[in-house]
Chain A
Amino acid sequence: MTAVPALICRNVSRRYGGRQAVDDASFVMPPGRVTCLLGPSGSGKSTLLRLIAGLEPVDGGDIAIAGRVMSAPRQTIAPDQRGVGLVFQDHALFPHLSVRANIGFGLTGLARAARAARVDTLMTRFHIAHLGAAWPHMLSGGEQQRVAIARALAREPALLLLDEPFSGLDGRLRADVRAALLADLAALGASVLIVTHDPEEAMAIADHIVLMADGRILQAGTAEHCFRSPASVAAARLLGAVSVLPCTVRGGVAQTPLGPLDAAALPDGPADLVLRDHMLVTASDGVAAQVEHVQFCGQGHVVAARIAGERVTVQCDTAPPTPGDTIMVALHRPVTGIFPRGA
């Protein structure tokens, strides 16, 4: 018997005025894991999060949390009845309550002692036990976030939603906070959905990634699967910089500027060859490319060049060329994918 999914979105739609903010979105979130909803700003991911939290009604489709339908057109179970915890980007701590009172805010049904014990447990788990009497404005960004997460988990929600949780932190701190927080969440075995616009972050933290753009779900799967086998050019772009070379498919073979490549599953016609950066390297023989720009990047040099007029990025581990040179480049890994034009 398989476990009940933490979340099922089925053909979910939400329209603002004439704009389709969420368009026919479907995905399933496995329980007890961390899932990332990744998309550029304006892609509708925050709207989808609000739909899941029940803060807004759906116009079409339905949303089931832990096996129970919570949203359907004209039928929305109120946010307070859904068993969903939501951590806001700005943390939304109540300024008039201490850290303890903030965390205990949702524990209305419990006796005083049980409530205090639960708050203590959470504060210890999230390493904020020393801050119980502090006020929200006295806390650092990272501490505020821990309080917000402890507060959201106090009611033992079936699903925890985090909206851009690390956007307020920067650099080294961000990676540290992320790692520590994920360890704590993993220890709890909670089902967590994290919204982010940062592909590196998504791949670093998530077991499962849902890619979203223009209100639509482009692809869902493990981080590695999404990265190695994107469903489309747009999906490939979401997980990192790519070079796109136009090509033509004829009889199961793609004629590309890099030579013929296998494209057995594709129909005849124009197509796009998608390459992740660093897949092309300088070589002694291969395809000619015109160097436009060279930049040192630590391990070697990154060369911006053109093959048959199309821009590509080439990794160079030997002596760097100078702009204007013609160099030979070759593929050193399998291509990311070939997609029919317009798909």
Chain B
Amino acid sequence: MALTASIIARPPRASPLAGLALLAGLVVALPLAGVVLAALGDASADIAQRDLLRYAATSGLVALLVGVLTALVGTAAAWLVVMHRFPGRDAFAWLLALPLAAPAFALAYAYADLLDVGGGLRTALRAATGHDLPFEMRSIGGAVFVLTAAFYPYVFLAMRAAFINQSVAALEAATMLGCPRRQLLWRVALPMARPALAAGVALAVMETLADYGAVHFLSVQTLTTGVVRAWSVFGSTASAARFALPLLAAAALLLWLERMSRRGRTHDNGKGRWRAIAPSELGPVRRWLAFAACAMLLVLALGLPLGWLAWQLPLAVPDWARLTLALRNSAGMGLAGAMVTVALAMMLALGTRQWPLAGRLASLGYATPGAVMAIGLLAPAGLIWSLVPGAGAGIALLLLVLAYAARLMAAALEPIDAGLARVTPSMRHAARTLGRGELGAAMAVDLPVARGAMLTATLILFVDILKELPATMILRPFNFDTLAVLASNYALDERLNQAGLPALLIVAMAMPAVIWLTRRIDGARPGALNAAA
């Protein structure tokens, strides 16, 4: 029939969106594959199996302790703030998330200096009481304390969102069925919020495993410090990759555990009947106890360490030239990294309908420490350098942006997916029948609808990249300092007074974004738990 000839032959699966998603997926897959390949290579540095086991045991112990402590602190703070009325409650609801603006290494510098055995505070205490404080910051305990202070907000935010979004009807039903109010947390609210708890703790543990700056400064040897040491001291990518493999495995395990705990537990809170939880009034003593608990948490996690760093500032003469340059580099890398990552995440989000594996891959990237990502990119980098010997700082910066993208893609995907959820399949189909191609429909409908979500994602990534240390250290071009690198270099030179300013500058740059992010999750759903991560 002649009519049939007029048909435009179209291969059914050639979709431009799937192609873009594949590209974005490759960015994540490349460093992951790079690590595995590098680990198979010849390890020139002899790192004993015993060391690997010791580092792994330390990593495991720190991760376990931080996981338990952040779960307790974060859940307790969220329960207090959501379910009770006490002085300062509304302010604490978002203030308690602010430690996210401070990099863990800044807390480590401050506490190590403040509580140094030879420092002013302890000397004075010894003179006054004749006793020394029974602990030492440069220890596993010290690292656990610092990391808990730095990462409890992940659990706090997740649990706060979960408690806020819980149907008050379930709590009221429990009360009517004879459950006393003080048992509501254990018997109803906590079991219902278990997926959020798992997600928050998983984030805190992932960050703990990925941390380099704080644990390294506190002389705790974890797998991540092992990765950086194998590379920087022994110059062996293969050895570094061997330390990285258990971290990759741990990342996959964490991801799997988190997924398992979420399985079949999408708690629908029945939009129409949703009512805000009425917080209960606390007694005259208890309300001030609640205030004191929240205030102490905030002081310990933010006020005391940052205050100490600020207090020490006048003791150092800042090297303004280096600082300005580092500030510019940090802002530039933060913006470039955030925008590239958001663009890639958008491509991934639009295309994952055709290619769901990409989303999983991105999550694995997020669970993978930055140091590991950097090691994974060293092999491709070496290849580029051997092919184009003249390729200079530009390529190195590009690789660094790729490392950020690979690591943080999932953090951008979460808000973007939530934003895109507002676009129903029928809206996309409507755009198609109204004359747009697949790509055109995405540009005309998906992109504008998800604009707000993309801004959120950009801010989240900006903050994360500002605080990033190990990947930047490994992949940066020679003499390219960010604020984090500068602070770390000063700190390792025992010039803590000098390290204070770049660390505080990071906080100052990150704080507006963190405040904006934490204040806007009030209306968010439980799924937005990463919204301020």
Contact = CB atoms under 8 A, between A and B. Distances in A.
Contacts of A54: 432-433
A75 to B, nearest CB: 4
B249 interface: no
Interface stretch (B181-189, B441-449, B467-475): B441-449
Contact of B429 (A64, A77, A79, A81): A79
B9 A75 contact: yes
A196 B33 CA distance: 52
A80 B435 contact: yes
Interface in A35-76: 53-55, 57, 62, 64, 67-70, 72, 74-76
21 contacts: A53-B433, A55-B433, A57-B12, A67-B3, A75-B4, A78-B10, A78-B432, A78-B437, A80-B435, A80-B437, A81-B8, A85-B434, A88-B430, A92-B424, A92-B427, A94-B449, A96-B451, A105-B431, A105-B434, A151-B430, A152-B434
A245 interface: no
A77 B430 CA distance: 16
B265 to A, nearest CB: 27
Contacts of A309: none
| CB-CB nearest 3 A-B residue pairs | A106-B434, A92-B426, A88-B426
* Most chain A beta carbons < 10 A, residue from B424, B429, B448: B429
Contact of B433 (A76, A94, A152): A152
Contacts of B430: 86, 88, 92, 94, 148, 151-152
Contact of A75 (B7, B422, B437, B445): B7
Contacts of A106: 434-435
B6 interface: yes
B383 interface: no
A105 B433 contact: no
B239 to A, nearest CB: 49
Contacts of A256: none
Nearest to B444: A105
A68 B435 contact: no
B434 A151 contact: yes
Given A90-B424, A95-B422, A105-B444, A69 B6 contact: yes
Contacts of A108: 435
A226 interface: no
Given A80-B436, A80-B437, A105-B444, A92 B429 contact: yes
A61 B435 CA distance: 25
Nearest to A70: B7
Nearest to B1: A69
Given A70-B7, A72-B7, A86-B430, 5 more contacts: A67-B3, A69-B4, A78-B437, A82-B433, A89-B426
B454 to A, nearest CB: 13
Nearest to B4: A69
A329 interface: no
Size class of the B contact interface (CB-based, 8 Å): 20 to 34
A155 B8 CA distance: 21
A20 to B, nearest CB: 19
A155 B435 contact: yes
A84 interface: yes
A316 to B, nearest CB: 43
Interface in B292-327: none
Nearest to A53: B433
B49 to A, nearest CB: 50
Nearest to B436: A80
A57 B427 CA distance: 19
Given A77-B7, A96-B448, A90 B434 contact: no
Interface of B: 1, 3-4, 6-10, 12, 422, 424, 426-427, 429-437, 440, 444-445, 448-449, 451
A85 B433 CA distance: 6
Interface of A: 53-55, 57, 62, 64, 67-70, 72, 74-82, 84-86, 88-90, 92-96, 105-106, 108, 148, 151-152, 154-155
Given A68-B3, A94-B445, A79 B433 contact: yes
A152 B431 CA distance: 10
Contacts of B433: 53-55, 79-80, 82, 84-86, 152
Contacts of A155: 434-435
Contacts of B8: 75, 77-78, 81
Given A80-B434, A86-B430, A89-B426, A68 B6 contact: yes
A105 B433 CA distance: 11
Contacts of A64: 3
A152 B1 CA distance: 31
A85 B431 CA distance: 10
Contacts of B445: 94, 96
Contacts of B7: 69-70, 72, 75, 77
Contacts of A84: 433
A106 B434 CA distance: 5
A48 to B, nearest CB: 15
A53 B9 CA distance: 17
B124 to A, nearest CB: 62
Nearest to A157: B433
A155 B437 CA distance: 15
Contacts of A88: 426, 429-430
Nearest to A108: B435
B429 A86 contact: yes
A275 B17 CA distance: 55
B427 to A, nearest CB: 4
B115 to A, nearest CB: 53
Contacts of A92: 424, 426-427, 429-430
A78 B441 CA distance: 13
Contacts of B4: 62, 69, 72, 75
Given A90-B426, A96-B448, A80 B6 contact: no
B10 A76 contact: yes
A108 to B, nearest CB: 6
B313 to A, nearest CB: 47
Contacts of A105: 431, 434, 444
B354 to A, nearest CB: 14
B449 A95 contact: yes
Contacts of A81: 8
Contacts of A82: 433
Contact of A69 (B3, B12, B424, B435): B3
Contacts of B426: 88-90, 92
Nearest to B11: A74
A17 B128 CA distance: 80
B429 A55 contact: yes
A111 B62 CA distance: 65
A54 B8 CA distance: 13
A75 B11 CA distance: 8
A82 B437 CA distance: 12
Contacts of B10: 75-78
A96 B433 CA distance: 18
Contacts of A96: 445, 448-449, 451
Contacts of B9: 74-75
Contacts of A53: 429, 433
A204 to B, nearest CB: 25
A79 B432 contact: yes
A56 to B, nearest CB: 10
A55 B433 CA distance: 8
A54 B440 CA distance: 17
Contacts of A152: 430, 433-434
A59 to B, nearest CB: 11
Contacts of B427: 92-94
B350 to A, nearest CB: 16
Contacts of A154: 434
A154 to B, nearest CB: 8
Contacts of A67: 3
Contacts of B437: 78, 80
A179 B427 CA distance: 26
